[in-house]
Chain A
C-alpha cells in the first residue's frame, strides 16, 4: 500500500467511514503481531496484545493527528506501550533473546550449527542494554526507520542512530572469533 493510499484510508476513517480501517488492519496486522511476538515470545499474549492494539487504534484514530507523526509509528507506539504495560503488570523483564530460540529459517540446514549460532548471538546480546537490543530489533527485524523508532521509543532520531551503531559495535566486539570462523566455513561449504 502506498503512503498516499494509506493517508486516504486514514482520512476516510476520520471522516466517519470506519470500514476503511479493515484495509489498514490487513496491511499492518502481520507486522504488529510480529513486533509484539518478538517481545513476549508467547502466542496467546501476542494475540491478546495485538487485539488490544487494533481496538485502541480503531477507537482513537478519529482524534489522532497525523499531520506530524506517521500512522505506522503511531500504531507501533500503541503496541509498544501495551508490551511495556504487560511487563510492568507481570513484573518481569522484557527478554528479546528468548525469541531467538524460535528461529526457523530454512537456509540454516544444520540444526547444530543453527543452535551454536543462536547461542553465540544470544551470548553477545547479553552485553547490550535493553534499549540497544530494542532498537537493534526494531531496525533489523521490524524494519522500522530511525524516525519511526524515535516516535515509538520517545528518543530523538539522532539518539536512536547512535544507540543502534553502538549496539552493532558491541555485538562485533563480543562475538567470539570462532563465530566468524563458523560463518566463513559455512559460506565456503555453501559455495
Chain B
C-alpha cells in the first residue's frame, strides 16, 4: 500500500471513531505523513535471513523425525502390548489364539535376528571404542631399518631443489602435507616477479648453548589401523549391481557420509589406515560462482570477495573450531590446544595496496599432535596435527583433516652427539632449506635469527622404492625457532628442524654431489635493530659451496 492510501485509511478509521478529527485533517495528515517518512528503513541482514532459514529447515526435519519416531513407538507399543489381540479376541477368540502363536513365533525369530545384529554391532563398537586410546608398542633397537637410506623420495627432492635453485616462499600451506608436497606447493620467486633481487638467507644462531638428546632415543612409527574388515559385512548384498556376497574376505577400504542439509559435510573414513577427513558438501554451501552465474561475472565475483574486516578474531576462530570438535566428540587428549594460522597477515601488513590483497576465505586452526609429551613438527618447520578449517564468511568449520587413530610402535635409535655437525645443518637451513639462484655480488642477504632449540619430534616419510611402501616416522628433532629476519622477505618458516638421529646426518655425504657447508664462526653478530636478541654467545654461518 502506498503512503497516500495508508494515510487515507488511517484518517477514515479516525473519522469513524470521532468525526471531530475531520476539522484537523490537514494537521493530522501531516503528522501521519511525517511519521511514515521517519520510519526507519530496516531490513534484516541477508546472511541472517539465510542462516535462520537453514536453522528452521533443520528444525523442521527434527520435528518431522520426532513425529515419525513417536508414530513408530505408538504402533510398536500397540503391538507389543498385545492390545490388538484383546480387541480381536472379543469376537474372534480362536483366531486371536492362532494369531498370538504366529506373532510369538515371528517375535522369537525377530528377537534372534536382532540380537545377532545387536551383538555384532556391540562387538564392533567395543572394538572401535578400544581404538580411541593412544597406544605405543615398544620394539627392539633399529626395528624400522635405516631411517633415511630408504627415503629416496626426500633425497631426490632435496637434491633437485638445489639444482633447481629457486627461492621458495609464500605461506605455510596445509600443514598436513608432506615436506615434499609442501615445497612443491610454494610459489616461486619467478612466478611472483615482485622480488627485486635474488636472496641469500643467512642463518644466525643467537640462542646460546642448548640441551642435547640422549645418545639413544625412541623413534616412533605410526601403525595404520586397518579396520576395513570390521565393516565388510555391511555391504554383503546381491542388490549392488554385482553380488558382493561372492567376494571372499572383503573389507571396506573407505566410505563417505554426505549430509543432505544446508551447510552439510562430506565425511570420509579411510578404514585401511584408520583416518577421517571432513569437507564441505559443496552442493549445500553457498558458492560465489553460482550466486554470480559463473566465474566470468567478474564484478559480481569481486563484490563477494572477503574484506579484511570480515576476518574473525583469533578467539572467535578458535572458539568455532573448539566448539565443533567438542560437538562432534573429537578426542583431543593427544593434541595441544588449537593454534590459529595467521601467517598471511604478515604479507597483508607488508602489502602496499591492501584493497587488491586476497584475503583468505578460510583460516586453519592446528591442534598440534603430541607423542610421549613431545610436539610433532613437519620437516618444513610447522607444527603437525589435526587441521580445522574455519570459513570466515559463514563462521563455520569447513574442513577437518589429519585425524587418525593414535597407534604407534617405537624403537631406539642412536642420535648425533656432535653439536658442530648439528649447527652445520642449522646454518644450511635444515633438511629443506630455502635456496636461491644468484650470481656472486648480485643478491641481497636476509639474516634469519634462530633461537635455542626445543627437543621435539619431526614427522618424516620414509619411502622404500623397492617395496613401494612408506613408513610414517616420528623422529627426535631439534626445533630452532625463527625469532626474526633482518628485512621482509619470502621466508616463511617458523622453525628450522634438524632430525637428531645419526641416519639423517649420514645421508649428507652424497658422493659426487656438491656439498653445501656453512662457514662457522664463533663471533657474535650485530643484527639489524629489528632483530631481537635471543641469547648471547652464538655461532654464525653463511653458505659456501665446496
Query: CA separation between A154 and B470, bound complex, in Å?
Result: 75
Q: Measured between C-beta atoms, what is the minimum distance from A56 to chain B in Å?
A: 11
Does the CB pair A103–B56 fall under 8 Å? Answer: no
Identify which of A18, A19, A161 contacts B17 (C-beta below 8 A).
Answer: A161
* Chain A residues with CB below 8 A from B10, complex form: 139-140
* Chain B residues with CB below 8 A from A118, complex form: 38
Indicate the size class of the contact surface on chain A. 35 or more
Q: Mark B1-26, 1 if CB is under 8 A from A, else 0.
A: 10000100010011011100100100
Cβ-based interface call for B69 (8 A): no
* Chain B residues with CB below 8 A from A58, complex form: 56, 59-60, 63
Which residues in window 91-110 of A have CB below 8 A to B? 99-100, 102-105, 107-108
Query: CA separation between A102 and B49, bound complex, in Å?
Result: 21
Cβ-based interface call for B64 (8 A): yes
Which residues in window 24-61 of A have CB below 8 A to B? 25, 29-30, 33-34, 37-38, 43, 46-47, 50-51, 54-55, 58-59
Cβ-based interface call for A117 (8 A): yes
Does the CB pair A105–B41 fall under 8 Å? Answer: yes
Identify which of B32, B34, B45 contacts A47 (C-beta below 8 A).
Answer: B45
Query: CA separation between A189 and B93, bound complex, in Å?
Result: 95
Cβ-based interface call for A168 (8 A): yes
Does the CB pair A18–B64 fall under 8 Å? Answer: yes
Does the CB pair B44–A146 fall under 8 Å? Answer: no
* Chain B residues with CB below 8 A from A75, complex form: none
Which residues in window 56-84 of B have CB below 8 A to A? 56-57, 59-60, 63-64, 67
Identify which of B40, B52, B53 contacts A103 (C-beta below 8 A).
Answer: B40
* Chain A residues with CB below 8 A from B48, complex form: 47, 50
Cβ-based interface call for B31 (8 A): yes
Indicate the size class of the contact surface on chain B. 35 or more
Q: Measured between C-beta atoms, what is the minimum distance from B245 to chain A in Å?
A: 39
Q: Given A58-B56, A121-B35, A183-B34 in contact, is the A168-B42 Cβ separation under 8 Å?
A: no
Cβ-based interface call for A141 (8 A): yes
Query: CA separation between A59 and B28, bound complex, in Å?
Result: 42
Does the CB pair A102–B64 fall under 8 Å? Answer: no
| Chain B, Cβ-Cβ closest to A184 | B30
Does the CB pair B6–A47 fall under 8 Å? Answer: no
* Chain A residues with CB below 8 A from B257, complex form: none
Which residues in window 163-214 of B have CB below 8 A to A? none
* Chain B residues with CB below 8 A from A172, complex form: 24, 27-28, 31
Cβ-based interface call for A76 (8 A): no
Does the CB pair B36–A140 fall under 8 Å? Answer: yes
Cβ-based interface call for A22 (8 A): yes
Which residues in window 110-161 of A have CB below 8 A to B? 117-118, 121, 136, 139-141, 143, 146, 161
| Chain A, Cβ-Cβ closest to B67 | A16
Does the CB pair A121–B38 fall under 8 Å? Answer: yes
Q: Given A168-B28, A168-B31 in contact, is the A103-B38 Cβ separation under 8 Å?
A: yes
Query: CA separation between A22 and B40, bound complex, in Å?
Result: 26
How many A-B pairs fall under 8 Å by CB?
115
Cβ-based interface call for A21 (8 A): yes
Query: CA separation between A51 and B37, bound complex, in Å?
Result: 28
Cβ-based interface call for A180 (8 A): yes
Cβ-based interface call for A162 (8 A): yes
Cβ-based interface call for A81 (8 A): no
Cβ-based interface call for A165 (8 A): yes
* Chain A residues with CB below 8 A from B42, complex form: 33-34, 37-38, 102
Identify which of B31, B32, B38, B56 contacts A22 (C-beta below 8 A).
Answer: B56
| Chain B, Cβ-Cβ closest to A101 | B40
Cβ-based interface call for A175 (8 A): yes
Does the CB pair B13–A102 fall under 8 Å? Answer: no
Cβ-based interface call for A171 (8 A): yes
* Chain A residues with CB below 8 A from B16, complex form: 161
Q: Given A18-B64, A121-B35, A172-B31 in contact, is the A50-B44 Cβ separation under 8 Å?
A: yes
Identify which of B39, B52, B53 contacts A105 (C-beta below 8 A).
Answer: B39
Cβ-based interface call for B55 (8 A): yes
* Chain A residues with CB below 8 A from B53, complex form: 22, 25
Query: CA separation between A50 and B52, bound complex, in Å?
Result: 9
Does the CB pair A19–B37 fall under 8 Å? Answer: no
Does the CB pair B34–A102 fall under 8 Å? Answer: no
| Chain B, Cβ-Cβ closest to A165 | B17
Query: CA separation between A145 and B10, bound complex, in Å?
Result: 10
Q: Mark B296-328, 1 if CB is under 8 A from A, else 0.
A: 000000000000000000000000000000000
Cβ-based interface call for B43 (8 A): yes
Query: CA separation between A159 and B52, bound complex, in Å?
Result: 36
Query: CA separation between A55 and B55, bound complex, in Å?
Result: 9
* Chain A residues with CB below 8 A from B44, complex form: 29-30, 33, 46-47, 50
Does the CB pair B18–A165 fall under 8 Å? Answer: yes
Does the CB pair A117–B60 fall under 8 Å? Answer: no
| Chain B, Cβ-Cβ closest to A57 | B56
Which residues in window 4-30 of A have CB below 8 A to B? 16, 18-19, 21-22, 25, 29-30
Besides A43-B45, A165-B17, 4 new A-B residue pairs in contact (Cβ under 8 A), listed by A number: A29-B44, A47-B48, A104-B40, A121-B35
Question: Which residues does A use to contact B, with CB under 8 Å?
Answer: 16, 18-19, 21-22, 25, 29-30, 33-34, 37-38, 43, 46-47, 50-51, 54-55, 58-59, 99-100, 102-105, 107-108, 117-118, 121, 136, 139-141, 143, 146, 161-162, 164-165, 168, 171-172, 175, 180, 183
The 25 listed contacts between A and B (C-beta, < 8 Å) are A16-B67, A18-B60, A19-B57, A22-B53, A22-B57, A29-B44, A33-B43, A38-B42, A47-B48, A58-B59, A100-B38, A103-B38, A105-B37, A105-B39, A107-B37, A140-B32, A140-B39, A141-B35, A141-B36, A161-B16, A161-B17, A168-B21, A168-B31, A172-B27, A180-B30
Question: Which residues does B use to contact A, with CB under 8 Å?
Answer: 1, 6, 10, 13-14, 16-18, 21, 24, 27-28, 30-32, 34-45, 48-49, 52-53, 55-57, 59-60, 63-64, 67
